[in-house]
């Protein structure tokens, strides 16, 4: 059974934090951040605004775009590294908030790869015949787990959410191939050490900032460039496509240099991608769906286009999907 995206939506908080704003709280400056990342500003959620709130707002837009009611949903998957609670799931909170009374709901935690992992998971539920309408969300409030005194990480991240509706679609359209991967040997390269069963919350873990993001940027960069090239080629081959037949790519929005390096290795021109990290920073699991929503609404992607979605993240993990875009443009 062919599975495609029939609705898409996104949401970012209104509060903008510029590089100049950051320079007031940490030793950095606009030029330093832009030259190393490409980021100029990011969105920050309110202190009392949980991840589920961003996810709900994006989901309602996706439901409207697909012209389906919340009670028609069979399953809700939320990809996030910043859940509202350890349990219940953030997906359950979204289910409550949108009134999806008939849907199953669960979260997945694969960091920045999460949304693409969610797409593959949701599509398999549909292709198996178990479900017909699946809501997949990537949502993060990373500002709540950033060490604002660590200039190597606090400059990178922002908050946001993106969502899509998966449904059966016409044969030859929709998802053509996919790949999921992980290298747990390098799991400590990108990590929040505290808060789980290994380092449960104590006065000491809070004092030592174990509940904030820690990252070896150089290792992540090398990993990202390598896996984006290799996974892209494998998933295109699995779909029966050459890189010349690829019409558009949406990559995880982590760093402009990583995206540029991947595009160069794939032989793709800059007009074959959409980059929004300049204004949002790295929004982890939200980055791919937010960028996809913007590209679709800007009519950069049209029905029949061969599209690559690719991401890398904690784990270290990666995920890629090739699909033939099945949806007509409909601005909402």
Q: Catalytic residue positions?
A: 112, 252, 282
What is the CA angle 94-161-222, rounded to 5?
A: 130
The two beta strands, 16-18 and 41-43, are antiparallel
**Both tokens of residue 88?**
């219940």
Q: Contact, 291 vs 275, CB < 8 A?
A: yes
CA distance readout (Å), 242 to 41, 239, 303, 306: 36, 9, 19, 10
Cβ-count burial of 182 within 10 angstroms (0-12 exposed, 13-18 middle, 19+ buried)?
middle
Which residue do the tokens 């398999």 mark?
124
Q: Contact, 164 vs 289, CB < 8 A?
A: yes
């Amino acid at each position: 059974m062919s599975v495609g995206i029939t609705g898409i939506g996104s949401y970012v908080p209104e509060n903008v934090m510029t590089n100049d704003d950051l320079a007031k709280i940490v030793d950095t400056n606009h030029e330093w951040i832009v030259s190393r990342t490409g980021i100029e500003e990011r969105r920050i959620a309110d202190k009392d605004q949980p991840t589920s709130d961003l996810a709900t707002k994006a989901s309602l837009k996706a439901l409207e775009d697909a012209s389906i009611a919340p009670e028609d949903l069979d399953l809700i998957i939320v990809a996030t590294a910043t859940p509202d609670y350890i349990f219940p799931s953030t997906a359950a909170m979204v289910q409550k908030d949108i009134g999806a009374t008939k849907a199953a709901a669960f979260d997945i935690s694969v960091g920045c790869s999460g949304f693409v992992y969610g797409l593959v998971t949701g599509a398999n539920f549909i292709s198996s015949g178990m479900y017909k309408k699946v809501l997949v969300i990537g949502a993060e409030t990373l500002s709540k787990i950033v060490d604002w005194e660590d200039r190597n990480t606090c400059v990178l991240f922002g908050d946001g959410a993106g969502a899509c509706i998966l449904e059966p679609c016409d044969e030859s359209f929709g998802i053509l191939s996919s790949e999921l991967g992980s290298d747990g040997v390098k799991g400590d390269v990108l990590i929040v050490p505290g808060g789980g069963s290994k380092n449960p919350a104590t006065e000491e873990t809070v004092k030592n900032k174990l509940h904030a993001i820690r990252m070896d940027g150089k290792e992540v960069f090398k990993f990202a460039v390598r896996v984006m090239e290799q996974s892209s080629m494998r998933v295109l081959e699995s779909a029966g496509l050459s890189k010349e037949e690829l019409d558009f790519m949406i990559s995880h929005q982590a760093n402009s240099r990583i995206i540029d390096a991947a595009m160069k290795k794939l032989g793709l021109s800059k007009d074959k991608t959409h980059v929004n990290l300049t204004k949002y920073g790295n929004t982890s699991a939200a980055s791919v769906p937010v960028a996809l929503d913007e590209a679709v609404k800007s009519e950069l992607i049209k029905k029949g286009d061969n599209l690559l979605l690719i991401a890398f993240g904690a784990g270290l993990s990666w995920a890629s999907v090739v699909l033939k875009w099945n949806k007509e443009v409909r601005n909402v």
